[in-house]
Structures are given as C-alpha cells and as structure tokens.
Amino acid sequence: MEFKHEPVMLKECIEALNINPNGIYIDGTLGGAGHSLEIVKNLSKNGRLIGIDKDNEALEAASKKLREYNNVTYIHGNHDDIKNILDKLQIEAVDGILLDLGVSSYQLDEKARGFSYMEEGPLDMRMDTSTGITAKQIVNTYSEEKLVSILWEYGEEKFSRQIAKNICKARKEKEIETTKELVDIIEKSIPKAKQKDGHPAKRTFQAIRIEVNNEIKPLYQTILNSVHCLKQHGRLVVITFHSLEDRAVKNAMVDLQGKCTCPSGLPYCICGYESFGKIINKKPIIATEEEQKRNTRSKSAKVRIFERLDKENQ
C-alpha cells in the first residue's frame, strides 16, 4: 500500500520553522515526508534534514519520496531520544525541529497494523513493529482496573468501566485477537442511544494505541530535550491531535519560557528565574475551515511554536 499522509497545516508549519537555507532541521516524526519534502525544498545544498521515525515502512516510503535530495539523513528511532540521536551524529544543535504527533493515514488504513476500528486486522497498533507490547497483549493481559484507567485517561471514554468489564469477560472464553472482535465488545458495552457521536470504538482504540506506543508519558520531557537541542533563535514546532498531547506540550513550553516572580516595582529582575526562550503563539494555531473540510484529520490539530533564546537575549 502506498504511504499516503496529507500534511496538516503545511504552510503554517513551514512559516513557523522560519527556515534558514543553510541550517540543520529535524523532522522527528517523518511519516510520509509531507512536511519534510517542503522543508528540504527550502534548504540549499549546504542545508541538512534529519528524518526520524520509529516505523520502518515510513522511513522506506519517505526515502523514496525524497530520493532526489542527497542532504537527508534517515534515522530509525524515536523523537523521545532526540538528544542521543544528535550525539551519535556529532551534531551539537540544530536550527529547527518539527514534531507531528498524529498517526498517518497509511497506518490507519493498513489492515495488518491493527490501528483501524473500521477494518478487520490483528490487534497490533505498534508504530515500531520490531519491538514493544501489542494491543493484543494489553487487551488480554491487563487487569480490569488498569484497562478502565487507560480508557478513561487516554480516551476519555465515559463507558470505560463497562467496556473493560466486557473485555475481561470475553477473554475468559477465548483470546481476543482481532480489531473486529474488540469492536464488537465495545459496541455491546455502549448503549445504542449514546453511539451517535462518531464511531463507538474511536476512544477505546485511541487509548490503547497511546498505551501501546507510550505516546504521552515521555512527551513533556521530549519537548524540554528538543528545545535544549536548538541553536539560538531555533524553532520547535509541534502538532498535537488531542487534549492530553496539547496539555503536555503547552506545560513544557510554559516551563521553558519561565516566569519572573519579582515584585512589579523592581527596576530589574533579581529572582534569577530560568528561561530558555519564548512561546511564539499564546493560542495554538488551528487549521482553516477550507483545510478542515478537505482533510478531516486537521479538525482536532493544534500547532504550538517555541523559539530558543538565552535569557540575556530576550
């Protein structure tokens, strides 16, 4: 299957990166290389793009899409390890980093990956299929209370307790192996009258996917690490797709910006607060109405931008 993924808010993200043609840029979630193609188009031969993805299929597809550019380095890895990746490449700092935290259309559409509640496939949901726990293992081995916790925290699923109870009941009869089997359990757990707001399995599948790929817990630290990898005036641009991601990104950026706690009457700061830069947009950027109509994935997307600045240069 062709790796298709329409980049969300492409124009806005490229403008936010404020690209230096001779700079070094990281796409920490390379995916189908939609954003990366536009980044590398804005680079000179002296510029460099580093594309990171934990999905080998994404890296292969991206390398084909960007094959005419010889200033791209492909890394099979996780953006959570961005500092270690740069250390191995012997790069001290970069001019910009883009993190698109969404799941690609390819991953959702590929039946064998098990991300989609619309297609029958094995319960996998791993972005990196070479390692880690699968959705099948979570569904069949986690305790009922742990399942309730995941579905509520990561999916904000109101019927988390009933779904978890029915999962545990079903797996006593036989192991739950496919997406369809899980969807059937979810549909039976939610009253028909409450199934009008989108697909009834959407929240549960999101929650399990987040748990499988450990998408939330390291995110705050990932934002901190990314900013510390930027040069002076370098930009970090992050696209989030749900409230938990956005909250972690926002909190990290607020802490990185820091806040003076001195009384307002003092002529200069004496509290010694730390600041590593500034938030460029106080309110997140959202997609235009036209893009939201064209690309439904963009409806929940938010873009936040942070610029690295030493405190004395602010």
Query: How many CB atoms lie under 10 A from the CB of residue 113?
Result: 23
CA distance 256 to 275: 6
- Tell me the CATH number for domain 132-213: 1.10.150.170
First to last CA, the chain: 48
Sheet containing 94-100: order of strands: 72-76, 48-53, 24-27, 94-100, 230-240, 302-308, 277-279
- What pLDDT score does 261 carry? 79
- Give the tens place of pLDDT for each residue, 159-213: 999 999 999 999 999 999 999 999 999 999 999 888 777 889 999 999 999 999 9
- Which CATH architecture group holds 10-101+216-313? 3-Layer(aba) Sandwich (3.40)
- In sequence order, which residues have a C-beta less than 8 Å from that of residue 299 and are 6 or more positions away? 287, 292
CA distance 50 to 71: 9
- Give the tens place of pLDDT for each residue, 250-305: 999 999 999 887 888 888 777 778 889 999 999 999 999 999 999 888 999 999 99
Q: What is the dihedral of CA 58, 59, 62, 64, to 10 degrees?
A: -120
Mean model confidence pLDDT for the chain: 91
Locate the domains of the chain by residue range. Answer: 10-101+216-313, 132-213
- What pLDDT score does 303 carry? 97
pTM of the predicted model as reported, rounded to 2 decimal places: 0.87
Provide the percentage of residues in the chain whose pLDDT is more than 70. Answer: 95
Q: Which of 76-80, 109-113, 114-118, 133-137 has the lowest mean pLDDT?
A: 109-113
